[in-house]
Structure 1
Amino acid sequence: MRKKLMGPMVILLIIQFLVMVGFGIVIPILPFFVTKLGGGALSLGIFMSAYSIMQFFFAPVWGRLSDRIGRRPVILIGLSGYGLTFLMFGVVNNLYLLIGIRALSGMVSSATLPTAMAYLADITEGEERSKGMGLIGAAMGLGMIFGPALGGLLGHYSFSLPFFVAGGLALLLMPFTWAFLPESLKQPISALSGRKRPRLTLAVLQDPLFALFAFNFVLSFTMSMFESTFALLAAAKVGFGPRDMGITFAILGIFAVIVQGGLIGKLVKKFGDAKLVNTGAVLCAVGLLLIILSADYKNIIFLVASTVVFMVGNSLMVPTSSSLVTKQSTQGQGASLGLFQSFASLGRILGPVTGGALFGIGMGLPYVTGAALLVLIVLLFGSKIKVNAHPPLVQE
């Protein structure tokens, strides 16, 4: 990647790393924190959904705003809001306030991801853009490795301490972002396009990017079903405990970093984004079916290997589909990426609930259902994903 891009890229990567640290830091302590405040399983479910619900509605808003006023101010808003809400988590002692702050955190921190991707799209093109998206994915993968580990370690001393650390790190990053992240948007997108801007209505079904939106929804939906049921499946079938789950998710994070941070650029150059999106979906489906098979045979090594296949497929889909959205968008990359992330949020809202319900009927149902949806989305929309189907907006 060109030297002049390294400064902004480092800032973007750190931001996304911190956001995912904050997302993952609550995983090991949340059930105990909610119980301490008098909540139960329903409260825990509401808490988890609140973040994604607000992301679903507000990611497109922040994306459109970044097209109008620039990427830099929106990233700064998201980062400061993220830091402040996590500090608020550390001092709250009321369950309803906890859920309200979680919703506020989702509302404000949803400004970071679509805007960071739009920023990257402003300063890169072609294979370099796909590689950059892969690096962002790798940073997020690292965040999901360190987040739960940090939460478990610090939560041993205090439930509040992990929130103070995550919020403090975000606020400490603010002056560096202000100083070293220049504005990437040369001219407001609204001044360049007379077309109607993408919005979260039924009209999105006719959007040229809907195939990519659908892929992102199915990917997030199946990933959420996996995340919400795998611990239960592994505990019931092979006797996994918290330590085993921590090791497994660390392995998954490492493979995500390897694929998205090291391999994705070379793979895009050789095969192209569209082929990798479809290949990733098929690999995810195969991984889900292998998980069920290995769990039934109670083979721990095979089980962990199956989750790696699933994660590799996921790691192929995320950066390449994001890159394609920026390459095909004709109505503002920030707005399109915001809408793209809203479909992911919708998947994260519906996935855990659906996965839990299916798991109650049969342990293998979430995985068979997820595999079927992934194959179906490839059959329905795989051929509609084309590189540069629409010329990108020119900003000069």
Structure 2
Amino acid sequence: MPAPRSAPWWRRTRRNSVPRADRPRLSRDVYVLGVIAFFVMVGFGVVIPVLPVYARSFGVGYVEVGAVVSAFALMRLVASPVVGRMIDALGERSVLSIGIGIVAVSSGLVGIAQDYPQLLILRGVGGIGSAMFSVAAMTLLLGSTAPTMRARAVGFYQGGFLIGGMAGPAIGGLLATISLQAPFFFYAATLAVAGAVGAVLLRSGAKPTADDAAAVRVPLRVVARDRRFQTACAANFAQGWTSFGVRGALVPLFIVEVLRNPTAATGVAFAIAAVAQTVALAPAARFVDMVGRKPAVIGGFALAAAVVAAVPFSTDIVMLTVLLSVYGVAAAFMGTAPAALVGDAVAGRGGRPVAVFSMFSDVGAIVGPIAAGLLADSVSYGAAFFVGAVFLLAVALLAITIPRPADRPGEH
């Protein structure tokens, strides 16, 4: 009698071997953090299209306008190491609420800034609050979720950001017709709602789940030697570089200057890509949790590298939009798998490791746009995109070295 064939991976999952009542579920904190992410990103999306125009209204040049945008990311980077220690001392919920409050107050004050120095300082202060919020939220998210559900928790959280990010710019455009200050007041209001939701509904702190291999906080020096954590940090840097330096800074220029399309085409292409990423988030997160982090990182980053390398060869806006949409699908894996790797490496107890993980993205976001711009100016668009693709491919290759027992959810 022939030996029975093994079932395919989509049937060979833990979910099918566990009674429905005993299957792990997303915690209440995950749903609350998803709602908070939506309100935060709606407000952020409202401000982003208006901020450069508002900065120019103070009679400054393009360099000063760029400094306002960079100040936010720079102060996020500077504050992140301190935020990890604050979480250890005060707890995730307190740091998250204080961070949102700082961004809310500073954003409201931006709307009544009297001169450019005030605007620059207030945006920098907002970056500090943003670091507090984002690191605390991710620490709480990873710590309150079972290892076999971490990618889905991250996916739900990121879904709140994506949906808010799609709605924000449209609202911002309407508010800008009222005044350039109105979007900043709206941002402060949405942050106040987000802060109130967090203060009332979030639990006092992340507690390790029973599925975690360790119930104590793993020292940073130990985590730093873990290949899963190293891969996740490299992934965050590559994403920061590529998303802000290549996709965010050069693609809009490529559409206008090379493909000869109006600026509005950029918004349409990016919106379609965002929808593709949002639709792909749930199945991507399920793949990461059920099949493993390692294949998700390898496949997602390799696909993204191929797409980024192909972008300069686009002949029209339709071809470019298709490529950006495929990149959006890859981004669904790139956003969920590295964060889940961090959660596994720290056994659900984040703090300083999560802050370090966040810093790698900020470094990429700060250096990437400048480096990509220099490459585009001195060499070509193709060279700038190629370097971004190399970083993404390097992450896929690094993920191959993750030890076999550690590439499954919850295994250490």
Q: TM-score range by the shorter chain?
A: 0.7 to 0.9
User: TM-score normalized by structure 1?
Assistant: 0.88
Deviation digits for residues 102-154 of structure 1 (CA, Å, limit 9, x no counterpart): 11101112112221121122221123111010111111112221222222221
Matched, 1:282 2:282: no
Once the 2 structures are TM-superposed, how far is the Cα of residue 249 of structure 1 from its aligned partner?
A: 1.8
Matched, 1:55 2:76: yes
Once the 2 structures are TM-superposed, how far is the Cα of residue 197 of structure 1 from its aligned partner?
A: 3.7
Specify the alignment match of 1:293 in structure 2: 313
4, 28, 35: which is aligned to 2:56?
Answer: 35
326, 351, 366: which is aligned to 1:309?
Answer: 326
Specify the alignment match of 1:73 in structure 2: 94
Matched, 1:264 2:297: no
SS at match of 1:111: helix
User: TM-score normalized by structure 2?
Assistant: 0.85
368, 372, 376: which is aligned to 2:386?
Answer: 368
Alpha-carbon distance between aligned partners in 1 of 2:83 and 2:128, rounded to the nearest angstrom: 9
Matched, 1:213 2:233: yes
Specify the alignment match of 1:83 in structure 2: 104
Report the RMSD for the aligned CA atoms in angstroms.
2.8
343, 351, 355: which is aligned to 1:326?
Answer: 343
Shifted more, 16-25 versus 120-129: the winner is 16-25
349, 356, 361: which is aligned to 1:344?
Answer: 361
162, 167, 174: which is aligned to 1:141?
Answer: 162
Alpha-carbon distance between aligned partners in 2 of 1:166 and 1:27, rounded to the nearest angstrom: 10
Alpha-carbon distance between aligned partners in 2 of 1:152 and 1:46, rounded to the nearest angstrom: 23
Matched, 1:112 2:130: no
Deviation digits for residues 348-383 of structure 1 (CA, Å, limit 9, x no counterpart): 100111121112131222211111221123224542
Once the 2 structures are TM-superposed, how far is the Cα of residue 5 of structure 1 from its aligned partner?
A: 5.0
> 1:391 and 1:97, CA in 2 relative to 1: closer, same or farther beyond 3 A?
same
Alpha-carbon distance between aligned partners in 1 of 2:357 and 2:283, rounded to the nearest angstrom: 24
SS at match of 1:384: coil
Q: Which amino acid aligns with 1:348?
A: A
What is the count of residue pairs matched by the alignment? 382
Indicate if the aligned counterparts of 1:120 and 1:132 stay in contact, CA closer than 8 A: yes
The runs of 5 or more residues in structure 2 that have no matched partner are: 1-19, 209-214
Specify the alignment match of 2:211 in structure 1: none
> 1:207 and 1:92, CA in 2 relative to 1: closer, same or farther beyond 3 A?
farther
SS at match of 2:249: helix
Q: Which amino acid aligns with 2:249?
A: S
Identity %: 26
Once the 2 structures are TM-superposed, how far is the Cα of residue 216 of structure 1 from its aligned partner?
A: 0.9
Alpha-carbon distance between aligned partners in 1 of 2:251 and 2:207, rounded to the nearest angstrom: 45
Indicate if the aligned counterparts of 2:143 and 2:343 stay in contact, CA closer than 8 A: no
The runs of 5 or more residues in structure 1 that have no matched partner are: none
Shifted more, 10-19 versus 69-78: the winner is 10-19
Alpha-carbon distance between aligned partners in 1 of 2:72 and 2:405, rounded to the nearest angstrom: 32
- 1:185-264 counterparts in 2 under 5 A? 185-186=206-207, 196-197=219-220, 206=225, 208=227, 209-225=229-245, 226-260=247-281, 262-264=282-284
SS at match of 1:117: helix
Alpha-carbon distance between aligned partners in 2 of 1:246 and 1:22, rounded to the nearest angstrom: 18
> 1:365 and 1:18, CA in 2 relative to 1: closer, same or farther beyond 3 A?
farther
SS at match of 1:84: helix
160, 172, 178: which is aligned to 1:151?
Answer: 172
Deviation digits for residues 35-69 of structure 1 (CA, Å, limit 9, x no counterpart): 11112221122112111111112223223322332
Alpha-carbon distance between aligned partners in 2 of 1:3 and 1:268, rounded to the nearest angstrom: 15
Indicate if the aligned counterparts of 2:104 and 2:187 stay in contact, CA closer than 8 A: yes
Indicate if the aligned counterparts of 1:283 and 1:312 stay in contact, CA closer than 8 A: no
SS at match of 1:158: coil
Q: Which amino acid aligns with 1:73?
A: S
Specify the alignment match of 2:16 in structure 1: none
Specify the alignment match of 1:377 in structure 2: 395
> 1:270 and 1:307, CA in 2 relative to 1: closer, same or farther beyond 3 A?
same
Shifted more, 10-19 versus 88-97: the winner is 10-19
> 1:385 and 1:282, CA in 2 relative to 1: closer, same or farther beyond 3 A?
farther
Indicate if the aligned counterparts of 1:221 and 1:351 stay in contact, CA closer than 8 A: yes
Q: Kindly name which structure, 1 or 2, has the bigger radius of gyration based on alpha carbons.
A: 2
Specify the alignment match of 2:10 in structure 1: none
Alpha-carbon distance between aligned partners in 2 of 1:5 and 1:271, rounded to the nearest angstrom: 18
Indicate if the aligned counterparts of 1:138 and 1:258 stay in contact, CA closer than 8 A: no
> 1:385 and 1:350, CA in 2 relative to 1: closer, same or farther beyond 3 A?
farther
Alpha-carbon distance between aligned partners in 1 of 2:85 and 2:410, rounded to the nearest angstrom: 16
Once the 2 structures are TM-superposed, how far is the Cα of residue 218 of structure 1 from its aligned partner?
A: 1.1
Q: Which has the higher helix share?
A: 1
> 1:310 and 1:186, CA in 2 relative to 1: closer, same or farther beyond 3 A?
closer
Alpha-carbon distance between aligned partners in 2 of 1:381 and 1:236, rounded to the nearest angstrom: 36
Alpha-carbon distance between aligned partners in 2 of 1:124 and 1:303, rounded to the nearest angstrom: 37
